[in-house]
Structure 1
Amino acid sequence: MTLYEIDEQIRNCIRIDEKSAVDTLTGEVIDLKQLDELAMERSQKIKNIALWYKNLVADARALKDEETAFAIRRKTAENKAEQLKSYLQTILNGEKVKDLQFAITWRKSQAVQIDDEKCIPAEFRIPQPDKIDKYGIRNALKNGESIAGAELVERNNIQIK
């Protein structure tokens, strides 16, 4: 069931076709040519497309909320597992334990610990790529400053509510 009723002719513009540029995630492609050629009153077509858009936005929002909920549950489970592992490390203190259902063993490893980053020689530093502060440039341009290689352009963005 959808939030809005969308004309079946509009829905038919979604197709699965091996010969076309198919979205590899969903298998769907919107046939814009077929959408353009629909014999339907212009206002009805616009209404249906706008409602379809609103459906997709609502679906995407719901999916994002689910992703967030699953991410929280995953992180909670990971944290609990890490706490239990840390607890076992503390109480076993290197002791090996074997059972039919599990085995706890230990292996040695090495890790670098940095005590003072300022003392590390340049040859061991990884350079980061330059990043451009577009927000700062926008504010400077709005304040009348001239910046070579940048300009403030006005765009006309559609909003469907």
Structure 2
Amino acid sequence: MVAKLYEISERYKNLDELLDNPDLENVKEDIEKSLNKIDEEFDVKAENIAKVIKSKEVDSKGLDEEIKRLQARKKAVEHQIDSLKDYLFEHMRMLKKQKIKGSLFTLSIRKNVPAVNITDEETIPEKYRIPQPDKLDKVAILENLKKGIEIDGAEIKQTMSLSIR
């Protein structure tokens, strides 16, 4: 049975703690050999996990490409739907047909719900405007913090992550 990464880590940690025990001076060499063996096992397991990660990244990229392809296909189908509706609408209007009752569908020309059409946004009175919340410019804040400029309420945060190349 192949050990899990957390099990390998736990064994390594336990053996490492044993090295600090002064009562075990005569077995330190055996403990160090075991640590080396566990360390190698950990490295192999970690590399295998990295292989799985890379495989999943390839899968994810493929899914992104498939999503783009399907979105383009959806847009084309929606355009075809709109074109067919416009075609049918124009010809029904031309023939002054308000309603067609078929065996599967009933087609009719109707008025849509009234909507606002803004012809000149600048002339609209202030009472019809909705204020938007302001947004912080984090790029400018970071640039200034890097230059040594102190900004109340902001600091540079440096995190660490795993890199697989």
Q: TM-score, normalised by structure 1?
A: 0.69
- Give me the whole-angstrom Cα distance separating, in 2, the residues matched to 1:133 and 1:87: 48
Q: How many residues are treated as equivalent by the alignment?
A: 131
- How far is the alpha carbon of 1:9 from its aligned partner? 4.2
Point out where structure 1 has 5 or more consecutive residues left out of the alignment: 1-7, 11-33
- How far is the alpha carbon of 1:153 from its aligned partner? 2.7
Indicate the SS of the match to 1:152: coil
Which among 119, 122, 129 is matched to residue 125 of structure 1? 129
Indicate the SS of the match to 1:149: coil
Point out where structure 2 has 5 or more consecutive residues left out of the alignment: 12-37
Tell me the residue number matched to 2:100.
Answer: 97
Equivalent positions of 1:1-161 (< 5 A) are 9=2, 35-38=5-8, 41-93=41-93, 95=97, 96-108=99-111, 109-161=113-165
- Give me the whole-angstrom Cα distance separating, in 1, the residues matched to 2:147 and 2:92: 64
* Higher relative helix content: 2
Structure with bigger RCO (C-alpha 8 Å, 6+ apart): 1
- On the 8 A contact 2:142/2:156 being kept in 1, the answer is yes
C-alpha distance 83-144 of structure 1, shift in aligned 2 (>3 A): farther
Larger CA Rg, structure 1 vs 2 = 2
- Give me the whole-angstrom Cα distance separating, in 2, the residues matched to 1:9 and 1:57: 24
- Give me the whole-angstrom Cα distance separating, in 2, the residues matched to 1:156 and 1:127: 39
Deviations 1:59-116 (A, max 9, x none): 1111111111111111111111112212222222262223223321122231111111
Amino acid at match of 2:6: D
Deviations 1:33-67 (A, max 9, x none): x5401587111111111111111111111111111
Over the matched positions of the two proteins, sequence identity in percent amounts to 37
